[in-house]
């Protein structure tokens, strides 16, 4: 059997603008300066655009490291030949320690059980990050408990502190709220360093903080959605971001004639008030397209071939 390569076997194509991704990471570099580390976030398969492809662009154009959501994502990047440091946000179970070390990934820890597993798996001092909670009330050691936790963590053999990180909460651009979170974070760092332990990486600022609160940059940042040109409609920022999404293409695979029906007409999934031709495209929620209710419309650009 001969298969033609003139069209993709799957009729839906997502086109990504790699040039836009490059400009976005460069914009972040210009914003934070040359001396801060940038951990470019490529979790969730690079926000759906391809983690390896996005990661390669980010590293080439200014990122010092990458960040992922789980162990398997980090392994895929390593197998793709990406050799920069890769931070793995807290997601993996203690059983993941051995593979994490094999692939040279940086784990983010939130409990002593996992820390013990890394200590057992490592053959020499291994860098780990500690995630603290400064306001989001999600994963992370509460800020007030973090210095004692880190002290216990570092009693384990083969464990070395690579950095402290947190995910700041910026639901609204509230300066006082941001400063409260920043002060909690800095307080932890200060207490740890006063105990004689160096904190090489201090990572607090993700996209919302990077765009509006430069005082939170510290010595590293981890931009996520802003690298893909994604910002919320009510979000103000002076930085110019380019959308990475170029287009979503599909094909009409069938055309059907439909007419208004008499039975159960009120239950028809979309308005049919007159005879019309209905074009069928092979794309839906399984492809990530938002489910549209009756009366809602999706605007498309049609190209005739």
Structure tokens at 302: 């049609």
Write phi, then psi, for 252 (nearest 5 degrees): -75, 120
At 258 the three-state DSSP class reads: strand
- What's the confidence (pLDDT) of residue 294? 52
- What's the confidence (pLDDT) of residue 3? 46
Q: What is the pLDDT along the chain (305 residues), one digit of tens a residue?
A: 444 455 556 678 888 999 999 999 999 999 999 999 999 999 999 999 999 999 999 999 999 999 999 999 999 999 999 999 999 999 878 999 999 999 999 999 999 999 999 999 999 999 999 999 998 888 899 999 999 999 999 999 999 999 999 999 886 768 999 999 999 999 999 999 999 999 999 999 999 999 999 999 999 999 999 999 988 767 777 788 999 999 888 888 899 999 998 888 888 887 888 998 888 888 877 777 776 655 555 666 666 66
In the chain the domains, ranked by start, together with CATH numbers, are: 18-233 (3.20.20.10), 250-305 (no CATH)
- What's the confidence (pLDDT) of residue 155? 97
pTM: 0.88
- What's the confidence (pLDDT) of residue 1? 44
**Is the sign of the CA dihedral 85, 88, 92, 93 positive or negative?**
positive
Residues linked to residue 135 through DSSP beta bridges, in sequence order: none
For 188-225, letters b (16+ CB in 10 Å) and e give: bbebbeeeebebebbbbbbbbbbbbbeebbbebbbbbe
- What's the confidence (pLDDT) of residue 29? 97
- What's the confidence (pLDDT) of residue 267? 86
| Angle (nearest 5°) at CA 137 between 99 and 218 | 75
Q: How far apart are CA 189 and CA 148, in angstroms?
A: 12
Q: How far apart are CA 239 and CA 295, in angstroms?
A: 36
């Amino acid at each position: 059997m001969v298969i033609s390569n003139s069209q993709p076997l799957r009729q839906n194509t997502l086109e990504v603008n790699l040039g836009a991704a490059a400009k976005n990471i460069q914009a972040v570099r210009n914003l934070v300066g040359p001396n801060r580390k940038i951990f470019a976030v490529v979790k969730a398969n690079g926000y759906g655009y391809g983690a390896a492809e996005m990661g390669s662009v980010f590293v080439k154009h200014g990122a010092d490291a990458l960040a992922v959501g789980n162990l398997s994502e980090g392994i895929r990047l390593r197998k793709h030949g990406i050799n920069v440091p890769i931070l793995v946000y807290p997601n993996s179970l203690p059983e993941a320690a051995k593979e994490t070390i094999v692939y040279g990934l940086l784990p983010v820890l939130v409990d002593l059980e996992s820390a013990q597993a890394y200590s057992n798996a490592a053959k020499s001092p291994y860098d780990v990050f500690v995630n603290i909670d400064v306001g989001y009330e999600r994963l992370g050691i509460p800020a007030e408990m973090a210095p004692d936790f880190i002290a216990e963590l570092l009693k384990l053999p083969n464990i070395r502190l690579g950095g402290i990180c947190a995910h700041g909460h910026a639901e609204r651009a509230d300066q006082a709220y941001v400063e409260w979170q920043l002060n909690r974070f800095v307080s932890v760092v200060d207490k740890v360093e006063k105990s004689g332990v160096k904190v090489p990486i201090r990572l607090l600022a993700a996209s919302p903080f990077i765009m509006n609160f430069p005082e939170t940059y510290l010595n590293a940042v981890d931009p996520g959605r802003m690298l893909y040109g994604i910002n919320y409609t009510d979000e103000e920022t002076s930085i110019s971001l380019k959308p990475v999404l170029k287009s979503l293409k599909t094909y009409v695979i069938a055309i059907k004639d439909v007419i208004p029906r008499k039975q159960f007409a009120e239950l028809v999934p979309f308005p049919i008030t007159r005879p019309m031709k209905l074009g069928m495209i092979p794309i839906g929620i399984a492809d990530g397209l938002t489910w549209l209710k009756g009366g809602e419309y999706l605007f498309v650009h049609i190209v005739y071939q």
